[in-house]
Amino acid sequence: MPLRYTLLPLLLPATLVGLLVAMLGTPGAAVPVALITLAGSLMALGLSRGALQRQLDRLARSTRGRAEGSGGSAPDPDRLEEVASLEGAIDTLHTRLSARNTELNQESRTLSAVLDSMAEGIWVTDAEGTVVRHNDALRNILQTGAPIVGQRPLAVLRDDQLHDAVMRGCLEGASTHLELELEGLFPRTLSVRVTPLGRDLPGSAAVFHDVTELRRLEKVRQDFVANVSHELRTPITAIRGYAETLQGGALGDAQVAPRMVEIIHRQSERLSELVEDLLELSRLESQQVSLNLTDVPLAEAAARAADTVRPKAEGKGQVVSLHVPAGLVAVGDPRAVEQVLLNLLDNAVKYTPAGGRVDVDGACEDGRCVVRVRDTGVGIEPRHLSRIFERFYRVDKGRSRDMGGTGLGLSIVKHLLQAMDGEVKVESQPNEGSTFTIFLPQAAPARSATG
Ligand code: ADP
């Protein structure tokens, strides 16, 4: 406190008392009386300042205690009115601050919970573009264990586009949408949207969405449409070409006309097979096929499928031989099981040169029914094995088409078996032959073979 505020109230009463005593006719006593008054005032001031200091110290301790969360001390009943009112004001302020703090805490926890529950990755940067916060999903999406907070975009993902987008968001307040291709063990495509935080908040936010699967499906769809168009175009072109030639006068040529009509007939059959296969596959993929699951004796299903391909096999001098135990009974849809075996046998005959053989074995292994279709045909190179169940995938396009294949047979086999809780596997060696093995759930033991 400035000295003049303390001295003036002390000197004024002492001077007045001194003057008063002098005026009363005892000037000699004026100075001692004034000094005594000054001393009294000083003592009173000292005492009251000491008391005030103690109460202020106590208030400071109590306020600090509350701020640190250890709770304040009980109020002193003898405290000065001014201190009491100051304490009241501090109390009110403290209560308001605590309530606001609780609200802010709650808001921050809700925000973190929302961010962490999102499938998309999110990061927030400060005005310089340094990441200050991110959610849990971001780590999975970026597949990184390295620290992200405190890093610049280029240090997290070496991508100039992303860095530029973040800086544009921070400095110019511009939003950017971009797609990133991440290389590595598992290449991924990320769709990223960078936006400025807002006028009052410097910095930017980026939302990372993993669109790898989406882009893959788009590519599959585009390839599928291109394949279907191509497959349809081939027989249609042949049909149209021969029909036009016939119209142009060849109809009257007794030698070539029957051959052309025969080709038109074959190509139209191919077209209808293709459409049938496509419809079947589309029904299977959209799970519209309602399978009638029941006990299927596999020897009978294999015999029926073999009867269908036998004329073709015999035409090529091939032997088709069945070794499926009579008691081997699977749970499946009889029509679907027969279709699976027919597709496999048809391929075995198709891709086995004249004079070869096809064997069908059956057994019960590890509680499942297993049927193996083995051929002594052209075989398949290892690099194709994982892809031959894809729609329209062919090892040798020319050969498959020449043999009347649609490129959909194995895909249908895979889907039919999946729908019956079964699966298909393949083993093959080029020029040595192939073995396609199907697995199906076994029917109740009382009615099935034990192997
Ligand atoms: P496709 O109508 O062309 O036969 P699939 O889906 O049935 O179509 O078979 C896909 C490809 O797998 C075939 O084009 C062929 O290259 C190969 N393939 C299938 N079965 C056999 C087999 N038994 N031996 C050799 N290659 C086969």
Using one digit for the tens of pLDDT, what is the confidence trace for 81-132? 777 888 888 888 988 998 999 999 999 999 889 988 999 999 999 999 999 9
Cα(315)–Cα(366) distance, integer angstroms? 38
Say how many Å lie between the CA of residue 439 and the centre of ligand 1: 19
State how beta strands 357-365 and 319-323 pair: parallel
pLDDT of residue 450: 47
Cα(279)–Cα(45) distance, integer angstroms? 105
Q: Is the CB of 358 under 6 A from ligand 1?
A: no
Mutate to test the pocket of ligand 1, among 380, 416, 436 (most ligand atoms within 8 A of CB): 380
- Phi/psi of residue 182, nearest 5 degrees: -95, 130
pLDDT at 51 over 60: yes
Q: DSSP letters along 259-286, please?
A: HHHHHHHHHHHHHHHHHHHHHHHHHHHT
- Phi/psi of residue 158, nearest 5 degrees: -75, 75
pLDDT of residue 144: 87
437 - beta bridge partners?
Answer: 372, 425
% of residues, the chain, pLDDT over 90: 59
Say how many Å lie between the CA of residue 314 and the centre of ligand 1: 20
**215 three-class SS:** helix
pLDDT at 402 over 70: yes
pLDDT at 444 over 90: no
Torsion angle defined by CA atoms of residues 89, 90, 91 and 97, in that order, rounded to the nearest 10 degrees: 110
Which atom of ligand 1 lies closest to the CA of 400? 3
Q: Is the CB of 409 under 6 A from ligand 1?
A: yes
Which atom of ligand 1 lies closest to the CA of 404? 2
Length of the chain: 451
List, in order of start, the domains of the chain with CATH numbers.
3-103 (no CATH), 118-210 (3.30.450.20), 216-284 (1.10.287.130), 290-450 (3.30.565.10)
Q: Is the CB of 411 under 6 A from ligand 1?
A: yes
pLDDT at 447 over 70: no
Q: Is the CB of 410 under 6 A from ligand 1?
A: yes
pLDDT at 451 over 50: no
pLDDT of residue 110: 93
% of residues, the chain, pLDDT over 70: 96
Say how many Å lie between the CA of residue 347 and the centre of ligand 1: 6
Residue 404 or residue 389, greater confidence: 389
361 - beta bridge partners?
Answer: 323, 372
Using one digit for the tens of pLDDT, what is the confidence trace for 273-291? 899 989 988 888 887 778 8
Using one digit for the tens of pLDDT, what is the confidence trace for 134-180? 999 999 999 888 999 999 999 999 899 999 999 999 999 999 999 99
**Sign (positive/negative) of CA torsion 385, 387, 390, 391?**
negative
pLDDT at 35 over 50: yes
DSSP state of 196: E
pLDDT at 187 over 70: yes
Residue 281 or residue 210, greater confidence: 210
pLDDT of residue 404: 72
pLDDT at 449 over 60: no
